[in-house]
Amino acid sequence: MGVNPSLSARISGVGAFVPPKVMTNHDLEKLMDTSDEWIVQRTGIKERRWVEQNVSTTDLGFEAAKAAIADAGLKKEDIDMIIFATLSPDHDFPGNACFLQDKLGLAGIAALDIRQQCSGFIYGLSIADKFICSGSHKNILLVGGEVHSKGLDRSPKGRAVSVLFGDGAGAVVVSATEVKDPKKDGHIIATNLHADGAYAKELWLPAPGTGFDDPDRMSMKMFEEDMHYPQMNGKTVFVHAVKRMCETLVHSVTSSGFSMQDVDLFLFHQANMRINDKVGEVLEIPAEKVFNTIQKYGNTTAATIPLGMSDAVKAGKLKRGMLVASAAFGSGFTWASGVWRY
């Protein structure tokens, strides 16, 4: 089925959920060799949310999904596809979309997981946009959710990575629409997706996996070498993140016929405040046009953009009719950008 030129897709509803347990930088000082000053200076993070022991990624996604569906003014039965972006699934398989589908009581509709890490939400938005514009679906639930806290090295040797991540979920409903006034009516205008697998091991989780000379996906050797914890080359990630986010953001905005000055609000992936500040500096974006949440949530990977969108709406910073631009960069390396009228 081809793209229907008379159809567009819009974000009809947004929702978010974070666990109630707050982990401040001072709390982390008790677990590892770090300090509030060190974390804030290097990342901008002051606190993050971590789940209690019995809470899963789809538990968070379920709450965010209910909020997004309600915000869209829909019933759950109106949803005809679920897309779940995550790198921290409840289980290796099946995908989180299936577990969430069951919790929502929506048996029979399509359920899809994507693994684009920090770029997952924009990748998912692009996929939803294409399905909607093909005419095959009317209301797609897109969820970005993560529980990082259960997979972090909380000992002193894990501090460089473990201080960065928090738990949370954000969700949007992407719905079919006809745009009568492009300057006012909500619609997704453009998305651009990229990757370069040559840098896959600069930010990755090696084990469990089948890519080893070992008969098992997880061996004692892998465990003893901490290969079940995330590993990151921070300097390489920073340099590439700034470069690629700037490139793709400019492309999405200008190829859509806008200037950077036309954008009302920028929602960047929340990995590191220094990255977002540098992107803003390079592109000469006024600070008041960038909405950040990393200071209170940390990096929630696939959840950061919809989580920020929800907070921006609640804060009165994002209103219907505004032109929004987003960019993300993460493991893969993957990077992506999008422009939409909210």
Kindly give the residue spans of alpha helices, DSSP state H, lying in 16-146: 25-29, 36-43, 57-71, 96-104, 120-134
Summarised one tens digit per residue, pLDDT across range 183-200 is 999 999 999 999 999 999
The rounded distance, in Å, linking the Cα atoms of 250 and 323 is 14
Pairing of strands 168-177, 139-146: antiparallel
Residue 169 near residue 145, CB atoms below 8 Å? yes
Q: Which of 96, 192, 292, 299 is catalytic?
A: 299
What is the predicted pLDDT for the residue at 265?
98
Q: What are 96's two structure tokens?
A: 């989180």
pLDDT at residue 95, as a whole number: 97
Q: What is d(CA 108, CA 319) in angstroms, rounded to the nearest whole number? A: 34
Catalytic one among 25, 118, 246, 272? 118
Q: Are strands 81-85 and 110-114 parallel, antiparallel or unpaired?
A: parallel
Q: Which tens digit of pLDDT belongs to each residue from 295-318?
A: 999 999 999 999 999 999 999 999
- Reported confidence tier of residue 173, pLDDT bands at 50, 70, 90: very high
What is the rounded distance in angstroms from the CA atom of residue 271 to the CA atom of residue 182?
32
Among candidate residues 175, 188, 166, the one with its CA nearest the CA of residue 17: 166
Model confidence over 123-146: pLDDT tens digits?
999 999 999 999 999 999 999 999
From 137, 148, 240, 269, the catalytic residue: 269
Q: Distance between CA atoms of 258 and 278, rounded to whole angstroms?
A: 22
304-314 helix and 120-134 helix, angle to the nearest 10 degrees: 80
Return the closest-CA partner of residue 270 out of 253, 249, 293. Answer: 293
- For residue 316 the two structure tokens come to 């009165």
pLDDT digits (tens, 9 = 90+) for 64-100: 999 999 999 999 999 999 999 999 999 999 999 999 9
Q: Two tokens at 321?
A: 């009719």
In 3D, which of 266, 238, 233, 249 has the Cα closest to residue 194?
249
Q: What is the pTM of this model?
A: 0.96
189 three-state secondary structure: strand
pLDDT of 6: 73
Average pLDDT taken over every residue of the chain: 96
Domains of the chain: 8-177 (3.40.47.10), 187-341 (3.40.47.10)
Enumerate the H helices of 225-266 as residue ranges.
234-255
* 118 flagged as catalytic: yes
What are the phi and psi torsion angles at 226 (to 5°)? Answer: 60, 30
**From CA 29, how far away is CA 26, in angstroms rounded?**
5
- Residue 287's pLDDT is 96
Closest of 283, 302, 280 to residue 292, by C-alpha:
280
Q: Is the dihedral of CA 112, 324, 250, 272 positive or negative?
A: negative
299 catalytic? Reply is yes
* 73/300 Cα distance (integer angstroms): 27
